Amino acid sequence: MTQRYYTVSWDQLHRDSKALAWRLVEKGPWKGIVAITRGGLIPAAIIARELDCRIIESVSVITYDEEKLGKPEVAKPPAAAGDGEGWLVVDDLVDTGTTAKVVRALLPKAHMATVYAKPAGNPLVDTFVMEVSQDTWILFPWDTEQQFVPPIARSAQAK
Q: Around Cβ 88, how many Cβ atoms within 10 Å?
A: 28
- 14 and 46 in contact (C-beta within 8 Å)? yes
38 annotated to a ligand binding site: yes
93 annotated to a ligand binding site: yes
39 annotated to a ligand binding site: yes
Whether residue 91 lies in the annotated active site: yes
126 annotated to a ligand binding site: no
Q: Around Cβ 14, how many Cβ atoms within 10 Å?
A: 14
142 annotated to a ligand binding site: no
User: Omega before 23 cis (within 30°)?
Assistant: no
Whether residue 83 lies in the annotated active site: no
92 annotated to a ligand binding site: yes
Which of 16, 65, 92, 135 is flagged as catalytic? 92
- 32 and 88 in contact (C-beta within 8 Å)? yes
Give the CA distances from residue 42 to residues 36, 52, 85, 152, in Å, rounded to whole numbers and listed in that order. Answer: 10, 15, 23, 33
Which of 11, 16, 52, 95 is flagged as catalytic? 95
98 annotated to a ligand binding site: yes
94 annotated to a ligand binding site: yes
Which of 52, 83, 91, 126 is flagged as catalytic? 91
Binding residues for xanthine: 95, 138
Binding residues for Mg(2+): 92
Any idea which residues carry the catalytic annotation? 91-92, 95
Binding residues: 38-39, 91-99, 137-138
Binding residues for GMP: 95-99, 137-138
